[in-house]
Amino acid sequence: MDNNEEAKNVGGKKLILLCIISIFITLCLTTVSLAIYHYSGDIYLDRSRPGYLPDNEEVEDEEEDEEGDYDFAKTGPINKEVLEEYLKKLQIEIDALDDYQNPFDAGALSDSQFGL
């Protein structure tokens, strides 16, 4: 009987030790993976996570909005004046697209075309 109880105690101690070691390994691997996620820069690509704050360069100042930018109201009345204003702002965008020379050549994808 003493042998049987001693075997149960040794088995229980080994199980506890196994749990502690597995938790330690899990914490180590999680820490390493989060460090890689942060230092590789992928953390800044994940915009779906709550509390994401864009970089300072990405913050757009409302005063710097271009003349052609226009936010069409999602609520409110749709009347003739609102539609005329929207079409006027849309025409500015259409004119900017029409100003492109040879839009299908290789230079259309250059950095200067994108303002980079």
pLDDT tens per residue across span 3-61: 667 767 788 889 999 999 999 999 999 999 999 988 887 777 766 655 665 555 555 55
Instruction: Print the SS3 string covering the chain.
Output: CHHHHHHHHHHHHHHHHHHHHHHHHHHHHHHHHHHHHHHCCHHHCCCCCCCCCCCHHHCCCHHHCCCCCCCCCCCCCCCHHHHHHHHHHHHHHHHHHHCCCCCCCHHHHCCCCCCC
In this structure, the answer to whether residues 3 and 40 fall within a common structural domain is yes
pLDDT reported for residue 59: 56
Same domain, 42 and 6: yes
Q: Domain residues for 92?
A: 64-100
With bands split at pLDDT 50, 70 and 90, how would you rate the model's confidence at 106?
confident
In this prediction the pTM is 0.37
Domain count along the chain: 2
**pLDDT(109) > 60:** yes
Residue 83: phi and psi, rounded to 5, are -65, -40
pLDDT attached to residue 62 = 47
Q: Residue 3 and residue 113: Cα distance in Å, rounded?
A: 82
Supply the pLDDT for residue 30. Answer: 96
19: left (phi over 0), alpha (psi -120 to 50) or beta: alpha
Answer yes or no: is 59 within a domain: no
Regarding predicted confidence, which is higher, 31 or 104? 31
Same domain, 96 and 69: yes
Tokens representing 86 are: 């929207």
pLDDT in tens, 47-99: 665 566 555 555 555 445 455 466 766 787 888 888 898 899 889 888 888 87
